[in-house]
């Protein structure tokens, strides 16, 4: 357990090792997840560069401190008691986006929506599907984010990654093992630092209209008015998670302040100031009922952080 003295000592070591990084203690994770739940991270670091990340990981290894790499928290459920380690938050301070002809290069902290907007601004087509995905590029590369028939692997050329020892390398698409909601980045617990995409010249009016069409579909079909992590479970082969959940009679099923969305059963939402335990309890009940009714084991698309956060 990281007591107050250990927190201060760890924070001081990190400030010295990565002077450009922002370092705080007892940062509420509810402020950094789209579920809007989660207790405090013992130490919270916002690196400004890959060298900062390398230095933070080195300090964590030398002091035996657990660490977790966070993007925009759009696919994460954090324990109500928080996380007794160092959270490395790759976000705005590592979010540059550059466009060269038909190529876009972006840092891992850039939001997928911002990258899609940059593509549109430069009349490039191929990333329209990403305009409504709330996560960052780093998390998106880890899970090969996708929507409406498009996936990052469809336009990705390469990614720069860091391994557990701090070694940095550029990996081509064919070496990244990109697949439905997975990749070698996740398998090997690599840290995505940036990505390069090759798109195609298009008409900005048509690109804009298509993105508006997709945004309209999202608003009409998804419970965007409530905190959630998007699709809670991965699509089982041969099925749709939302339909299985609805057919099992779980539409609106509630535990405390969290429930299965009435609008889209594939979403568990925090509609009444729920806790992470509420969300977790809903997920567990849904998983058990669907398995019992249909023999299908739903695999969470959501990641978990903190003690007791196992489904």
Active site residues per annotation: 181, 231, 301
Handedness of CA 123, 125, 131, 137 (dihedral sign): negative
Would you put residue 172 in left (φ > 0), alpha (ψ -120 to 50) or beta? beta
How is residue 130 written in tokens? Answer: 């990403």
Beta-bridge partner residues of 23? 45
C-alpha span between 243 and 193 (Å, rounded): 36
- For residue 16, count other CB atoms closer than 10 A to its CB: 11
Assign 303 to helix, strand or coil: strand
What are the CA-CA distances from residue 243 to residues 122, 150, 247, 297 (Å)?
38, 21, 6, 14
Residues 6+ apart with CB under 8 A from 6: none
C-alpha span between 279 and 289 (Å, rounded): 16
C-alpha span between 235 and 265 (Å, rounded): 12
- If you search the block for the tokens 């940059």, which residue do you land on? 118
Helices 4-17 and 50-63 pack at an angle, to 10 degrees, of: 140
Say if strands 83-89 and 67-70 run parallel, antiparallel, or are unpaired: parallel
- Using a 10 angstrom Cβ sphere, with 0-12 exposed, 13-18 middle and 19 or more buried, the burial of residue 304 is middle
Residue 265 near residue 291 (C-beta atoms within 8 A) = no
Counts of helices then strands in the chain (DSSP H, E): 8, 18
196 CA to centre of own chain: 19
């Amino acid at each position: 357990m990281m007591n107050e003295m250990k927190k201060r000592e760890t924070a001081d070591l990190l400030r010295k090792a990565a002077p450009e990084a922002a370092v705080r203690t007892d940062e509420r994770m509810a402020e950094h997840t789209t579920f809007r739940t989660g207790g405090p991270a013992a130490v919270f670091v916002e690196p400004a560069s890959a060298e900062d990340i390398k230095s933070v990981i080195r300090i964590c290894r030398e002091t035996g401190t657990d660490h977790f790499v966070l993007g925009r928290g759009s696919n994460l459920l954090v324990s109500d008691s928080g996380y007794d380690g160092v959270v490395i938050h790759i976000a705005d301070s590592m979010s540059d986006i550059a466009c060269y002809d038909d190529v876009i290069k972006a840092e891992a902290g850039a939001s997928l929506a911002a990258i899609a907007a940059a593509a549109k601004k430069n009349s490039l087509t191929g990333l329209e599907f990403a305009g409504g995905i709330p996560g960052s590029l780093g998390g998106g590369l880890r899970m090969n984010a996708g929507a409406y028939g498009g996936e990052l692997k469809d336009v990705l050329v390469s990614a720069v990654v860091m391994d557990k020892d701090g070694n940095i390398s550029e990996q081509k698409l064919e070496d990244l093992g990109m697949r439905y909601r997975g990749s070698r980045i996740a398998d090997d617990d690599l840290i995505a630092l940036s990505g390069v995409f090759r798109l195609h010249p298009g008409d900005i009016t048509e690109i804009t209209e298509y993105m508006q069409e997709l945004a309209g579909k999202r608003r009409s079909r998804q419970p965007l008015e409530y905190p959630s992590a998007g699709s809670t479970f991965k699509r089982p082969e041969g099925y749709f998670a939302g339909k299985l959940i609805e057919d099992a009679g779980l539409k609106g099923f509630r535990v405390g302040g969290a429930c299965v969305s009435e609008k889209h059963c594939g979403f568990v939402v925090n509609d009444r100031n729920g806790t992470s335990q509420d969300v977790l309890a809903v997920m567990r009940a849904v998983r058990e009922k669907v398995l019992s009714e249909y023999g299908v084991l739903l695999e969470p698309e959501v990641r978990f952080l903190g003690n007791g956060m196992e489904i």
